[in-house]
Amino acid sequence: MEQFTLKQVAEHSSKENAWLIIHGQVYDVTKYLADHPGGAEVLTEAAGTDASDEFDNAGHSEDAFEVMESYCVGKLQGYEKKKAKLKPVTPIPKTQPSTPIDQGSSKSKLVNLGLFSLAVAAVYYVGRRQGVTIPKWAISTLHHEASERHNFGFVRGVLVGGGMFAALDVVLAQRFAQLIWDKKSFTSYPAHMKISKRVQENTLLQRGLLDPVTYSPLPLKEKALVAPNVYRFTFNLPTTSTVLGLPIGQHVAIKADVGGESVSRSYTPVSNNDDRGILELVVKVYPDGKLTNGYLANLKNGDEVLFRGPKGAMRYHPGLCKKIGMVAGGTGVTPMFQVIRAICEDDRDTTEVILIYANRTDQDILLRKELDTFARRYPKNFSVYYLLDQPPTDWAFGSGYVTRELMEEKLPIPSLDAKVMLCGPPGMVNAAKKALVDLGFEQPGASAKASDQIFLF
C-alpha cells in the first residue's frame, strides 16, 4: 500500500477533502461524512490528524470495521505500534518526623509536684510551731512503741519520700509512654478514642483486572447460542473473587490473529464488577466478520482470548440524571443493559429509564428474559418497548422503524435532568439523533462525553 507522511495527511483537513489516521492506516473519509453515525463534524474535526485514541474511546461495532476497509488509501510512513507504558511506581512516603517532646508540659508537672512538697513541709512546720500533736490512734498505727516525736518524724519521712517517688514515677512513666506512642505523652490521649466508620466502596466503581494498555488472556468457560447467530461467551477471571474493573457504560477490546492479521474489536460485556470471577459477552456473528466469524465463532472451552480496557466516554454513576431514554437496535442493547442493570439493582438509584428496542424478528431480541424481569420487578425504574420489522400475529408492542413521533411519545422531554442514549446500526442511530435534535435535545459534540444530552455509544 502507498505510504504517507504526517505532513501529507495534514494537508487533507477540510470537509471537502478529509483524511485521518487510525492505528497506522490512512483513511479518506470524505464520502463517508454524511453517513457517519456520530455526525459529519466528528470526522471533520479529526481530519488531517491521528484519531486513534478518539476512535478507540468511542468503541465501534463489527460493521464499522468492515466499512472502514473500503476507505483505506494507505499506511502512515514510519508507523510503529505503541508499546505498553510502564505504570509509574508510587514512592512510599517517608515516615514524618515525630512531634517533639513538649518540654513545657513536663516542666509544669514537676513544678506542681515541687509546690505540693513545699506545701507538705509548710504544714509540718506550722504544726510543730503551734504544738499540734498526732492523734493517739495514728501514733499507735505508725509505731506502737515510738514516742510522739519519733512518730511525727516518721510521718514527715513518709510524706517527703512519697512525694519524691511520685515525681520519679511520673517522669519514668512519661518516658515510657513516649517510646510507645511516638513520643507523645499518654496524658494527651482522650479517655475514649472515636474510630471512624469504614466507608463501603461501591463495587461497580472498583478497579480490577483490566488494564487499558496491557492485554490479559482469559480462558473461555462456556459458549451458548442465545439467538440466531448470537452467542453468549463466558470467560473465567484468574480467581472466583477477582473483580473485572469495568465502569458501567464502558467496553473492552479483544485482539486476535486472524489469517495472519492482527484484528481488534470493541464489545460491551453484559456482566459487571458484581459478577466476580467471570466476564460475559453477548456477540452477534456476522458472515463476513473477521473477528466474529473468523475467530470467536470457532472458540472452544479452554481457549484463551486477549482482553484490555476499560474504554469509552460513558462512566455511569447514580445521579448522572433523573431520566434516561434509550434507543437500541440489535446487539446495541448490550451497553444499555449494563446501565439498566446497575440502576435496577441499586436500591438508592431512583433514575427512570425507558428503552425502545428495535429488531427484525422476535427471535432477534437479545436479553429479553432479563429485560422483562427488570421491567416487572422495578416498574418505577425501568420500562421497555419492543419494535419489530416482522412482528408475529399476537405481537403486543410496535412494528416498523424508530420514528420521531414514537420517541416523542415514549422518551423523556428535553431538560437538564434528561439524557438519551443511542446504540445500533448507523442508519438507525443517524435518524434517531437528527429527530432528537429536532425535538429540542442538544446536538452532541464531535467527541462523545458523558455530559451530552444525546450520548452515542
Strand pairing report for 72-76 and 3-4: parallel
pLDDT for the residue numbered 50:
86
Residue predicted with more confidence, 220 or 315: 220
Q: Which amino acid is at 78?
A: G
Three-state SS letters, 363-423: HHCCCHHHHHHHHHHCCCCEEEEEEECCCCCCCCCEECCCCHHHHHHHCCCCCCCEEEEEE
Q: What is the pLDDT of residue 10?
A: 85
pLDDT of residue 397: 94
Sign, CA torsion 148/150/153/154 = negative
pLDDT tens sequence across 40-71: 777 877 888 888 877 776 655 555 666 777 78
Would you state the cell numbers that stand for residue 330, as one nine-digit string?
Answer: 440489535
Comparison of pLDDT for 10 and 131, the residue scoring more: 10
Strands (E), 375-416: 382-388, 398-399
Mean pLDDT of 88-95: 47
Task: State mean pLDDT over 419-444.
Answer: 92
- Position 174 scores a pLDDT of 64
Q: Tell me how far apart the alpha carbons of residues 232 and 237 are, in angstroms, rounded to a whole number.
A: 16
pLDDT surpasses 80 at 35 = no
Residue with cell 408492542: 397
pLDDT of residue 36: 73
- What is the reported pLDDT for 165? 61
pLDDT in tens, 260-300: 888 888 899 999 888 889 999 999 888 888 899 889 999 99
Task: Examine the pLDDT at 137 and tell me if it is beyond 60.
Answer: no
* Percentage of residues in the chain having pLDDT higher than 90: 35
CA atoms of 369 and 232, how far apart (whole Å):
14
The predicted pLDDT at position 122 comes to: 64
Does residue 100 have a pLDDT over 60? no
Q: In which band, very low, low, confident or very high, does the pLDDT at 176 lie, cut at 50, 70 and 90?
A: low
Distances from the Cα of 325 to the Cα of 60, 94, 169, angstroms: 21, 51, 74
In sequence order, what are the residues at sequence separation of 6 or more whose Cβ sits closer than 8 angstroms to the Cβ of residue 144? none
Q: What is the pLDDT of residue 39?
A: 64
Lowest mean pLDDT among 116-130, 182-196, 260-274, 326-340: 182-196
Q: What pLDDT is attached to residue 183? A: 46
> What region, left, alpha or beta, does residue 35 occupy, with left being phi > 0 and alpha being psi -120 to 50 degrees?
alpha
Nearest to 349 by CA among 319, 388, 385, 313: 319
Catalytic positions = 251, 267-268, 423
Per the prediction, the chain carries an average pLDDT of 79
C-alpha cell at 242: 477477582
- Grid coordinates belonging to 170: 511520673
Is residue 315 within 8 Å of residue 250, measured between CB atoms?
yes
pLDDT tens per residue across span 330-382 = 989 999 999 999 999 988 899 999 999 999 999 999 999 999 999 999 999 99
The span from the CA of 114 to the CA of 410, in Å, is 86
Placement of cell 399476537 in the chain: 394
Q: What is the pLDDT of residue 44?
A: 79
What average pLDDT does range 433-449 have in this prediction?
87
Residue 32 has pLDDT above 90, yes or no: no
Which of 82-91, 121-130, 210-219, 317-326 shows the lowest mean pLDDT across its residues? Answer: 82-91
